[in-house]
Structure 1
Amino acid sequence: MSPAARNAWFRTLGQLALVLAIGLAIGLLLGRPWPALTVAALAVVAWHYWKLRGVLLRLTARQRLEPPTGEGVWNELDRLLHRSQAEMRARKRRLLAMLRAYRAAAAALPDAIVVVDRNTQRVLWFNEAATPLLGLHYPRHQDASLVAALQPLPLAQWLAAGRNAEPLTDVASPADPGMRLNLRLIPYSEELWLLVARDVTRTMRLEHMRRDFVANVSHELRTPLTVVHGYLEMLDPAEIPEWAPMLAEMQRQSQRMNQLVEDLLALSRLEARDQLPEEPVAMAPMLATLRREAEALSQGRHRVSVEDAAGVDLLGSTKELHSAFSNLVSNAIRYTPAGGEVAIRFARDPDGGASLAVRDSGYGIPATHLPRITERFYRVSNSRSRESGGTGLGLAIVKHVLGLHHASLDIASEVGKGSTFACRFGPGRLLPRDPTPETPALP
């Protein structure tokens, strides 16, 4: 208890004792002490009830009343209540100011922000950008079903994934079909989700322009490169021995440029497609072909092993999967020193899927490079890549092929100990293996 409150309490007790003493003295003078003392006590109780009524009125009043002056316990209580109310009003003003600031910040964002109830999947709040981007209008879509409000976007299964929902990229806006959006679902509490929609129309337009440019340039380069390579092959180094090293280098660089153009065209074709034709992919002949290609590229310089432990086939495009697997195998051969080991293993995963892993005992990749290793033209070592004849597009092609198969590429590597590239396919991509006893290898 504060000193002021303690002093007010003792002062009030003193006043109470003084009133009772005066009543008792008057009763003794009149010869009736107990009735006089009773009247004095009742007067004290009535006074306290009157003060209590005043406190209740002050608590329920909507206007701001200054506390009465005085030094009793009731006056001290009035001052404490007035101070508490003032502090509460100050906190409320601060909270309102913060809320207005947050609302203004959310309104200023160029992205659409929608707060969604996790259990009912209903719209609780959205900012101003949600109107032009998603077509949400207040109050028509307040407390409306998000799936119904954002028709025709396929959001039912996406919302059902919850925390595991992958971002939706390049989808048409419900408000404007010509606008392209990226949607992301962010769970930020047990009951609420945050839907963030970003306008990527300009980005996607530039991306399409880039793809068209790369495809057109690559296509136009193919013919002159073919001509140059053809003339180089017609030149006989034996006729002019001193030109032999130059011709060999020119042929090597011509072949490398031709491979680069082919990889660019392949990557452009993959980026332009939303899906691939699906067919049963026989993995036994696929693994046999990978072994043959690895041994041909190795020329006996590496130990090559192939293990087929899955006992299943895959659903997808045989041509594109062979391209992806072949890229991984050729990379393993190129970046593994002579005498090293390259192991190809097709096995089941604990989640019910299957993975094809290519493990090598090569140089390894530093951890800082792993997040960017699948970017086009990204190189861990420029000199080593050029010496091995790599184009810098192999892993980008692998990533796009797996993405079209709803699969993923896991990379584990340690410098000096080698790397493992694993193509992981979900259970929905597995097929029972064809029991044909002998299946020829892929051509």
Structure 2
Amino acid sequence: MNYKWSRYLRMILLFLAAAFLAGLVVGYPLEGLLAGLLVYLAWTLAQARKLYRWLSNPGAGQEAPESIGLWGDIFDGLHKLHRGHLATQDRLLSQFNRIQESTNAMRDGVVMTDANGVLEWWNDSAEYLLGLKRRTDRGQPIQNLIRAPAFKRYFSQRDYRDPLEMNSPARPHLHLHIQISLFGEDERLIVVKDVTRLFQLEQMRRDFVSNVSHEMRTPLTVISGYLETMVESADELPARWRRALNTMAQQSTRMEALITDLLMLSKLETGEQHGPETVVDIQALCRQICNDARALSGDSGHQFQLDIGERHYLRGDEDQLRSAFSNLVFNAVKYTPAGGRISIHWSTNRDGAHLSVKDTGIGIDPVHIPRLTERFYRADPSRHKETGGTGLGLAIVKHVLLNHDGTLEIRSEIGGGSEFICHFPRIRLAEPVPAEVSAPEIGDEM
């Protein structure tokens, strides 16, 4: 590059020297030099005019203007850059068209917006699922086109860890699963999935469980009533009939408990069981549960320890919390040998509130812990009449905690007892109702 520039500079100097010598021959050396400069300037302006006209309309002709010397190389270099630019543009356009065709072939809707929610692009599935129109909606804020309050809150909150489920604004019979991702400078990529079939299947399952449980409750109540009457008069029957009646009565009681838990779990899933939130006194609630657990323990001689911290008021549904806590405590009673210890501890810290139910029972193999909250899953596969429950208790606990923004932590090992910890976020902590007088703190043996 330096060699070419030196050569061009020598050519210019030789031209000016020739003009100077020509002027010297006629007796006007300076005028000759000035004439040479003017000629070179005019030629340079002519080349610049060619360059300007070509750059102003490069598509009119693919070939660059013809020239020599420095300007010829400039034209050739710009022409190569222009051809490379056109090739890159064609390649990018081809890739873009391919991506657009592939996204249009997707069954999921894809929408791109800027940081303010202005629609920039969407595929055909999004047009069908959300009712967007290409001719009129491009450049419009998506909040003005999808007016559902739930979508507006979800779009503006900027916390997209959990997806949004809602009905389609254009086709209400479709149930949509919407997930938003941030990219670039707060731009948003919206993926919309049609989950109507899954939603309907889940709804059918819930309705089936609820309806069957309701239908079974009435005949089972009648059967239990007759069995109870027959058991009261069992002394007049042979021994083998008494044994059969007692077994039938026990299994009838277990079936009633199973139906009750199924109905409660169904209501928790559908939101029917969610009552108005109040300020719940955890101390008073745990004392009641502990008294019920002592009655359940009977002659087993379990030792109960209740330790409640200072901040023992939680905002939530008292009936749901009672159901969850009692499930944990009663399970501890069932799976702890006679004379064992059961500790109930409530504490608060910067992360929130925590209720721990710890026992000295038989423990659980850690391999079972990830699945303990599944419906009907049992770490102990036996259906022993003394310890076997419905298999729904921990599923109920999980759904109650979900309704209260909480989580369940399980720690256990074989022979080392178990500990179930309910974690509640800090925003759930509440102050006592002024009209109530707080109960004294309990930390003694019961």
Structure 2 residue aligned with 1:151? 147
Structure 2 residue aligned with 1:204? 199
1:435 maps onto 2:410 in alignment: no
Structure 2 residue aligned with 1:58? 54
Mapped partners of 2:26, 2:380: distance in 1 = 115
Cα deviations by residue, 1:217-237 (Å, 9 ceiling, x for unpaired)? 44455546984893996878x
How far does residue 77 in structure 1 lie from its aligned partner after superposition?
1.8
Q: Are the structure 2 counterparts of residues 73 and 427 from structure 1 closer, same or farther at C-alpha, using a change threshold of 3 Å?
A: same
Please report the TM-score for the alignment, with normalisation by the length of structure 1. 0.78
1:44 maps onto 2:40 in alignment: yes
Q: Is the CA contact 1:286–1:322 (under 8 Å) kept in the aligned structure 2?
A: yes
Please, which of 73, 78, 93 is the counterpart of residue 76 of structure 1?
73
Aligned residues: 428
After TM superposition, the structure 1 = structure 2 runs for residues 255-404 of structure 1, keeping only pairs within 5 Å, are: 256-274=254-272, 276-278=274-276, 279=278, 281-297=280-296, 300=300, 303-334=303-334, 341-350=341-350, 354-360=353-359, 363=363, 366=366, 369-370=369-370, 372-379=371-378, 382=381, 388-404=387-403
Mapped partners of 1:394, 1:356: distance in 2 = 17
1:35 maps onto 2:31 in alignment: yes
Secondary structure, aligned partner of 1:174: coil
Please report the TM-score for the alignment, with normalisation by the length of structure 2. 0.77
Please, which of 177, 188, 198 is the counterpart of residue 182 of structure 1?
177
Q: Is the CA contact 1:114–1:196 (under 8 Å) kept in the aligned structure 2?
A: yes
- Runs of 5+ in structure 2 lacking a partner? 441-446
1:192 maps onto 2:196 in alignment: no
- What is the RMSD computed on CA atoms of the aligned residues? 4.1
Q: Is the CA contact 2:401–2:408 (under 8 Å) kept in the aligned structure 1?
A: no
Please, which of 404, 407, 423 is the counterpart of residue 405 of structure 2?
407
Q: Which moves more between the two structures, 62-71 or 36-45?
A: 62-71
1:87 maps onto 2:118 in alignment: no
Q: Are the structure 2 counterparts of residues 272 and 25 from structure 1 closer, same or farther at C-alpha, using a change threshold of 3 Å?
A: closer
Q: Are the structure 2 counterparts of residues 65 and 97 from structure 1 closer, same or farther at C-alpha, using a change threshold of 3 Å?
A: closer
Q: Is the CA contact 2:347–2:354 (under 8 Å) kept in the aligned structure 1?
A: yes
Q: Is the CA contact 1:411–1:422 (under 8 Å) kept in the aligned structure 2?
A: yes
Secondary structure, aligned partner of 2:198: helix
Mapped partners of 1:71, 1:10: distance in 2 = 16
Secondary structure, aligned partner of 2:306: strand
Q: Which moves more between the two structures, 8-17 or 390-399?
A: 8-17
How far does residue 365 in structure 1 lie from its aligned partner after superposition?
6.2
Mapped partners of 1:269, 1:38: distance in 2 = 100
Secondary structure, aligned partner of 2:261: helix
- Runs of 5+ in structure 1 lacking a partner? 439-443
Mapped partners of 1:303, 1:149: distance in 2 = 62
How far does residue 435 in structure 1 lie from its aligned partner after superposition?
0.8
